[in-house]
Amino acid sequence: MDGGEQGRTVNCQLGLALFLSGEEGQVPVDWRLHLPERWAGDAEARRRARIPEETRPQALWALAVDLVDGLAAQPGLVRAPVVADLTGVTDVRPLIERLHGRGHGFVLAVSGQLPLTPAPEPYAGRAQREPLPRLSARQLLLRGGIRHPDVAVTPGPDGRPRRIQVISSLAEIPGLRPGCGRVSSAGRVFAEWDPVRKLLGRVWLTNLPERRMADLLALASLHTGTLATVSALGEHYGLLDFEGRSFPGWHRHMTLVSAAHAYGLLSRPVPHRRPDREAA
């Protein structure tokens, strides 16, 4: 990690976390520590850090898939859509392909330059179903996107739902072709639209094209809550205080941080609700 603000190089661990979102907030439920390639063949470094023999370096996208698959395998849990910010990831295709191919719904923030293939309308004639040229996600929205002029989203500071404009377009999921196995390649790309300044907001890609736009925006908004939770974990629960040098020690620390945060949420006083007025 380059500590530009500190004028020096800062050594740190790079971890991934999986959060569950609910009415009480976002709770971290699993963690993965990214193991750099240079550790793979260094037996002495592995011994000092107590890295298990079976643990091998994995790409970040592979760690993310492991997190999602691990939670989905838990008995009694209903699969929920995966929400993540991939705008800073160089190659998002492996993660998108595997999430989609394994049946995980997702709403992912992606770069506006992500190449996408426009999807033909479901009832388009054969001539319109010919392969279409690839466009960037931004081009796809600006050239042929559908305007949603009055979409209600999460309440603002006054408690009332905000209403915004959105542009969306059907798109093929990258790396998958229509009819690939049993998985449909249908997807949708969407972004908030500022009609005054003619600007697009953050671009999102989903493989849940049948969902209402208000529902998709509600899912996308969960990312903001997760960022706030990460900040709270660092400020109040010791997320950044790990000073050990061992692989199992890092995981124990993250487990304690997560448990402390969950306890903090559960021990908060329940807001008092005034009973409903009896009918006359």
pLDDT digits (tens, 9 = 90+) for 92-114: 889 999 999 888 999 999 999 99
pTM of model > 0.75:
yes
DSSP string, the chain: -EEGGGTEE-----EEEEEEEETTEEEEEEEEE---GGGTT-HHHHHHHT--TT-----HHHHHHHHHHHHHTSTTPPP--EEEE-TT-S--HHHHHHHHHTT--EEEEE-TT-EEEEPPPTT--GGGGSPPPPEEHHHHHHHHPEEEEEEEEEE-TTSSEEEEEEEEEEEEPTT--TTBTTB--EEEEEEEEETTTTEEEEEEEES-TTS-HHHHHHHHHHHHHHHHHHHHHHHHS-TT------HHHHHHHHHHHHHHHHHHHHTSPPPP-PPPPPP-
| Ranges of residues in the chain whose predicted pLDDT is under 50 | 1-10, 123-128, 179-182, 273-280
Residue 270 has a pLDDT of 58
Reported as a single tens digit per residue, the pLDDT across 153-212 is 766 556 677 788 899 999 988 666 554 444 567 899 999 988 888 888 999 999 999 999
Torsion sign over Cα 197, 201, 203, 208: negative
Residue 123 has a pLDDT of 44
Residue 90 has a pLDDT of 77
Residue 8 has a pLDDT of 43
